[in-house]
């Protein structure tokens, strides 16, 4: 199974896609990458392989497709067992899954909404995102380099969107979320994360990110005004 | 580890709590059950063991607490390996996780909103819930008794809220979601599910459910009107 062809349908601007790429690279899995242009109609390939949500990332392995980044990460971990990203202990595994879910539901969602809204509604989402950062700061206090210890794991990969994306979201949406003085443990974690060779080699282009986030913010704001 | 004390903080009206109870019973794990009254202030026990979300269910095992029903199910599967609820094959496991996430994000969320809203907003949520049922109907077509075959597994447990709760939500919210003629595969699955001895022995009391859902619908509608 592990030697069958691997294809990833993604976008160079999606933090969810980077999660999958980092995990594949950590495992040393070779894959074909197919870029989906998110600013035009969804491609026939995407519609074929993710008919339910029609969203990236989609991992296609041995002709079978899997979507949802957290589901894909678990699949990668179970299919290619080298360089594990989840700990062995069931309780520690539960904690990694708990915090990953927290990041998606409480942090990423607020970040997305903050990017797509304005005024009071935006302020509400900014508040939610900062509350999530505060909770994660508490969780990171006293940790070694990463969530699970000395090496990058599941939860670091899931939170890995922060270092490159956060600053661009702040710039494009005209908001302030992160303060390195207020969140020193989080800040230290970010530094450790982006200094890791495999991550450093695979981070989004800042220009591309600014261009894309500006574009989708404009589109979303226009559609809200039109309602 | 498997022999340490197990405690579950739950509520006899929460479908998320029943997921955990069914999994524990399928595995033959004995546990102490502590009822959380959802209509009064949160208990010190709940605040102690789930300080982040302050929500049930919470599983406490060997003094350590885990919350979020899907995370708890994975923990139960990894800690007590008898009567597995997830298949062995990584792709099949990914499918179970994908559909579980789908149920929570697309179906349960719409169901909750439909219960808490009125008028046009409610209609929107009803439409979303029916769309989710249609997709699940397609997924269940041609299956044996359950999602994963002849025995109850992860995805059946996750969707297990439907048989008892759906009808009560329809009654309390004054809406129609399910049509056994339109969704014959889903209907057959429901029949198989509630006929399984372990499930049959552990279903919510209809009266209690009607009382509780009426109560929280009143509270939510009042808080929306007050805004």
Question: Which of residues 53 through 92 in chain A touch B, CB cutoff 8 A?
Answer: 61, 64, 66-68, 70-72, 74-75, 78-79, 90-91
Minimal C-alpha gap between B205 and chain A (Å): 30
Cross-chain CB nearest to A94 (options B74, B95, B101): B74
* Number of Cβ within a 10 Å radius of residue B34: 17
A101 touches chain B (CB under 8 A): yes
What confidence score (pLDDT) does residue B172 get?
A: 97
**Upstream peptide bond of A151 is cis (omega within 30 degrees of 0):** no
Question: Which of residues 132 through 191 in chain A touch B, CB cutoff 8 A?
Answer: 135
What confidence score (pLDDT) does residue B2 get?
A: 61
Each residue's pLDDT tens digit, A177-213 = 999 999 999 999 999 999 999 999 999 999 999 999 9
What confidence score (pLDDT) does residue A42 get?
A: 92
B93 touches chain A (CB under 8 A): yes
What are the structural domains, with CATH classification, of chain B? 6-79 (3.40.30.10), 90-226 (1.20.1050.10)
- The answer for residues whose C-beta is within 8 angstroms of residue B140's C-beta and 6 or more apart is B147, B185, B186, B188, B189
**Residue whose pair of structure tokens reads 């508040």 in the numeric block:** A127
What confidence score (pLDDT) does residue B158 get?
A: 97
From residue A13, alpha-carbon distances to A133, A208, B91 in Å are 22, 7, 27
Q: Which tops the pLDDT comparison, A20 or B161?
A: A20
Residue A3 has pLDDT above 80, yes or no: no
Contact A90 B75 (CB under 8 A): yes
Provide, as residue numbers in chain A, all residues whose Cβ is less than 8 Å from the Cβ of B66: 91, 94-95, 98
Nearest CA in chain B to A77: B90
Helix axes A206-226, A161-173, angle to 10 degrees: 50
A98 touches chain B (CB under 8 A): yes
Averages of pLDDT over each 10 residues, chain B, 227 residues: 87 95 97 92 92 94 96 98 96 97 96 95 97 96 88 95 91 95 95 94 94 94 81
Minimal C-alpha gap between B22 and chain A (Å): 19
Indicate the average pLDDT of chain A.
94
* Residue of A71, A89, A103, A124 for testing the chain B interface, max B β-carbons within 10 Å: A71
Average pLDDT over residues A38-59: 92
Least confident interval from A52-56, A160-164, A213-217, B178-182: A160-164
Average pLDDT over residues A40-64: 93
Nearest CA in chain A to B134: A52
pLDDT band at A227 (very low <50, low <70, confident <90, very high): low
Contact B68 A1 (CB under 8 A): no
What confidence score (pLDDT) does residue A20 get?
A: 98
Minimal C-alpha gap between A57 and chain B (Å): 13
Cross-chain CB nearest to B74 (options A1, A68, A97): A97
Angle (nearest 5°) at CA B146 between B141 and B152: 165
Residue A92 has pLDDT above 80, yes or no: yes
B215 touches chain A (CB under 8 A): no
Contact B91 A71 (CB under 8 A): no
What confidence score (pLDDT) does residue B162 get?
A: 86
Nearest CA in chain B to A68: B98
Average pLDDT over residues A29-49: 93
Average pLDDT over residues A108-120: 95
Over the Cα atoms of chain A, what is R_g? 18
DSSP one-letter string for B142-174: T--SBTTBSS--HHHHHHTHHHHHHHHHHHHHT
Contact A94 B66 (CB under 8 A): yes
């Amino acid at each position: 199974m592990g030697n069958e062809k691997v294809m990833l349908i993604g976008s160079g601007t999606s933090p969810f896609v980077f999660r999958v790429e980092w995990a594949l690279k950590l495992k040393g899995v070779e894959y074909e990458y197919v870029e989906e242009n998110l600013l035009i109609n969804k491609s026939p390939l995407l519609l074929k392989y993710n008919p339910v949500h029609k969203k990236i990332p989609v991992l296609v392995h041995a002709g079978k497709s899997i979507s949802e980044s957290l589901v894909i990460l678990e699949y990668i971990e179970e299919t290619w067992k080298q360089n594990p990203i989840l700990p062995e202990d069931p309780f520690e595994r539960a904690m990694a899954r708990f915090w990953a879910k927290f990041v998606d539901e409480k942090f990423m969602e607020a970040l997305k909404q903050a990017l797509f809204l304005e005024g009071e509604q935006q302020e509400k989402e900014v508040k939610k995102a900062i509350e999530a950062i505060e909770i994660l700061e508490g969780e990171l206090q006293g940790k070694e380099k990463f969530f699970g210890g000395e090496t990058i794991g599941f939860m670091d990969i899931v939170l890995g969107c922060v270092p490159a994306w956060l600053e661009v979201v702040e710039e494009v949406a005209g908001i302030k979320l992160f303060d390195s003085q207020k969140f020193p443990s989080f800040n230290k974690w970010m530094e450790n994360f982006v200094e890791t060779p495999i991550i450093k080699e695979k981070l989004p282009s800042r220009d591309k990110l600014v261009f894309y986030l500006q574009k989708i913010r404009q589109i979303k704001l226009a559609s809200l005004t039109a309602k």
